[in-house]
Amino acid sequence: MGMGCSDLRSISDTDDTEEDTAYRGKRLEPDRTVLLLGAGDSGKSTIFKQLQHMYTKSFQRTEERMQFKAFIVDNVLTAIQILVKASFIYDPIVDANNRETARKITELEESILEKTDTEGWECLPMDPMDLYTLWLDEGIQKTYEKRSMFHLDDNAPYFLSKMAELTRKNYVPSFEDILRSRKKTVGVADQIFEIRGKKLKVVDVGGQKNERRKWINFFANVDAVVYVSSLSEYDQLTYENNTTPRLIDSINVFKSFYETKDMSAVPVYLVLNKLDVMTEKCQTGQRKMSQFHRDFTGNDSSVEDYKQFIKNKILEEDRDNRVREVFYSNAVDEQSIRLLVENILGGVL
């Protein structure tokens, strides 16, 4: 969900003397550099947004928040299209009107979808609230319960359940809406944050498979890696092929960067994210860990057993004991991320 490459700069680049340029370079030179790594959908870019909000007061202006409206519209349309296509396989849509809405959704041309960036809901060939009615259809709800069988972003129920708010003419995305919106990180987003009187550069690189080959370009001069893995992905499949379990993919990604020669002396902080989503899955009893991982021997009703199982699976790859600490977090909760940052910075700075 990274928005692009940015550095925190407040000094003008125009009409500089050599002394000005040298001074600016010194001011922007970070004291430490931290690399945010993780597989796609781990929530690392959400953590990056939290840092921007906490330490640079980003996302407070209406104009800035409105930039995320197009992403939210896209997230809703993508989610409902995925659910409709999956319903053809798992549970047919029950209501006739909803079936008609589903037909229109599946037949949307790319040219119309592209217009949502500027025109929003107005370019759709249906009332956008019909999407909410479709979401409530018994067939779609039963299909949603089988979401481990196909790729669906965690934010789908959040946005689809608040369509009445999202479709208001005067709607302005809240900060939580911004945090939950998804835009795959392409390339790199980096920013220098002033924390405790020190300049900390945080680099967020894309986690999808086609982005990982670029990671090696950022391994030099790194003081620490914050590796983010989603606790809630134990029952989900990867975006790229819809067959590889996401937990296995996350472990393989961890192993891949861990074994890179340039990273052999770099300390690692492991962040197990989306504790809230995993807790809900565990407590409802519908997504049992033992159904998806035969080597799980714990209690299927125990959140603590789920946490320990996932943590131990990843730490099996920490052969040189480079993982300094393990943190459990909920990336959309500011207090959770603030505590995480304070603890990690204690070691990095």
Q: Whats the size of the chain, residue-wise?
A: 349
Calculate mean pLDDT across residues 120-137: 93
Catalogue the long-range contacts made by 244-251 (C-beta closer than 8 Å, 24 or more residues apart): 245/292, 246/39, 246/41, 247/293, 247/310, 247/313, 249/39, 250/38, 250/39, 250/42, 250/314, 251/313, 251/314, 251/317
**CB crowding 293-322: b at 16 or more within 10 Å, else e:** beebeeeeeebebbbebbbebbeeeeeeee
Domains in the chain (CATH in brackets) are 30-59+185-348 (3.40.50.300), 69-172 (1.10.400.10)
Report CA 84 to chain centroid distance, whole Å. Answer: 23
Return the structure tokens found at 336. 């959770």
| pLDDT score of 322 | 94
| pLDDT score of 238 | 79
CA 109 – CA 233 distance, rounded (Å): 31
Radius of gyration of the CA atoms of the chain, in A: 22
Report CA 74 to chain centroid distance, whole Å. Answer: 15
Mind listing the pLDDT tens digit for each residue in 140-150? 999 999 988 88
Distances (CA, A) of 303 to 149, 275, 293: 22, 9, 15
Pairing verdict, β 188-195 and 323-328: unpaired
Mind listing the pLDDT tens digit for each residue in 263-282? 888 999 999 999 999 999 99
Query: Mean pLDDT over all residues of the chain?
Result: 85
Mind listing the pLDDT tens digit for each residue in 220-246? 788 999 999 999 999 887 776 767 888
| DSSP annotation string for 243-283 | -SBHHHHHHHHHHHHHT-GGGTT--EEEEEE-HHHHHHHHH
| Band of residue 175 on the pLDDT scale cut at 50, 70, 90 | very high
140 three-class SS: helix
Return the structure tokens found at 286. 């519908």
Indicate yes or no: pTM above 0.85: no
| pLDDT score of 84 | 97
Mind listing the pLDDT tens digit for each residue in 84-107? 999 999 999 999 999 999 999 999
Q: What percent of the chain has pLDDT over 90?
A: 53
Mind listing the pLDDT tens digit for each residue in 27-75? 578 889 999 999 888 999 899 999 999 999 899 999 999 999 999 999 9
Quick one: DSSP state of residue 216?
G
CA 229 – CA 332 distance, rounded (Å): 15
CA 163 – CA 135 distance, rounded (Å): 10
Strands (E), 141-265: 188-195, 198-205, 224-230
Compute the Cα dihedral for 116, 121, 126, 129 and give only its sign: positive
